Amino acid sequence: MNRPLGLTIFSMVYFIVGIVYLGYAVIRLDFAFSFTGMNSEFEILALTIVGIGAFVQMIIGIALFMGKKWGRLACSVLAIIGVIIGVVMAFSYVPFILSILLHGFVIWYMTRPNVVAYFQSNDSSKSNLSFSTRSNDAMDILKERYARGEITKEEFEQMKKDLNT
């Protein structure tokens, strides 16, 4: 299945914004250690956290581009956190309403049927066995064990029942 265009755009935005934040954190940290402009350990810690977050954002962007299920999950979780923060902060700072709308759009888009289907088809095509194939393989193994006489009919029926639930 082809990657949806919106997903390509999201992945590129995630990656580019991650690069921008990482660059900002590195430049500011370099400034902090080169000059006396920033002596606060808190600021250094905050910029380090921004840098780590930027790196994580870049990895999520790559995962979205590659169709990794965990990338979609991470993107959705971050968007939910963004909505929550936006709702809390909207009472004190109006531009956070835009944050709520943007993160809400990300959540909506990540639940679109074509996006979900892309991640499911991409994930199962890259793994050796999809869930349904694994289930069929387990049943085939069970049948072979019964045919070879390794298990009794009662054990076969119980295991078959266990596999179907």
**What is the per-residue pLDDT across 1-50, written as a single tens digit (0 to 9) for each?**
788 898 999 899 999 999 999 999 888 877 766 665 555 777 788 888 99
Q: How many domains does the chain have?
A: 2
- Give the pLDDT band of residue 141 (cuts 50, 70, 90): confident
Identify whether residues 86 and 146 lie together within a single domain.
no
16, amino acid identity = I
Q: Let me know whether 91 and 146 are in one domain.
A: no
- Give percent of the chain above pLDDT 70: 85
Is residue 159 located within the same domain as residue 98? Answer: no
| Of the listed ranges 49-53, 80-84, 148-152, 154-158, the one predicted with least confidence | 148-152
Q: What is the per-residue pLDDT for 136?
A: 62
Alpha-carbon gap, residue 147 to 64, rounded angstroms: 45
**Residues 21 and 54 placed together within one structural domain of the fold:** yes
Task: Judge whether 11 and 65 are in contact, CB under 8 Å.
Answer: yes
Determine the structural domain holding residue 158 and report its residue range: 131-164
pLDDT of residue 70: 93
Q: Is the pLDDT of residue 55 over 90?
A: yes
Asked if residue 101 and residue 78 are part of one domain, the reply reads yes
DSSP 91-149: TT-TTHHHHHHHHHHHHHHHTSHHHHHHHHHHHHHHSS--HHHHHHHHHHHHHHHHHTT
Q: Give the residue from 126, 16, 22 showing the smallest Cα distance to 67.
A: 126
Please tell me whether residues 38 and 70 are part of one structural domain. Answer: yes
User: Are 95 and 32 part of one and the same domain?
Assistant: yes
98 and 148 fall within a common domain? no
Do 99 and 152 lie in one domain? The reply is no
The residue behind tokens 């050796």 is 128
Do 89 and 149 fall into the same domain? no
Whether residue 63 sits in one domain with residue 96: yes
pTM over 0.85: no
Judgement on whether residues 24 and 50 belong to the same structural domain of the protein: yes
